[in-house]
Amino acid sequence: MAHYVEGIKQLSFSEVKELYDQSVKKPILIDVRELEEYTEAHIPGIPLIPMSEIANRAGDFAKDEEYVFVCRSGRRSHEVAKFFQENGVDKVANYEGGMLEWDGPVETGEEHIVKKISELY
Cβ-based neighbours of 116, under 8 Å, separated by 6 or more: 60
Tell me, yes or no, if 101 is annotated catalytic: no
Q: Beta strand 67-70 with 3-5: parallel, antiparallel or unpaired?
A: unpaired
Find out whether 46 and 74 touch, Cβ atoms under 8 Å: no
The catalytic residue among 71, 81, 93, 99 is 71
Secondary structure string (H, E, C) spanning 26-71: CCEEEECCCHHHHHHCECCCCCECCHHHHHHHHHHCCCCCCEEEEC
Active-site amino acid positions: 71
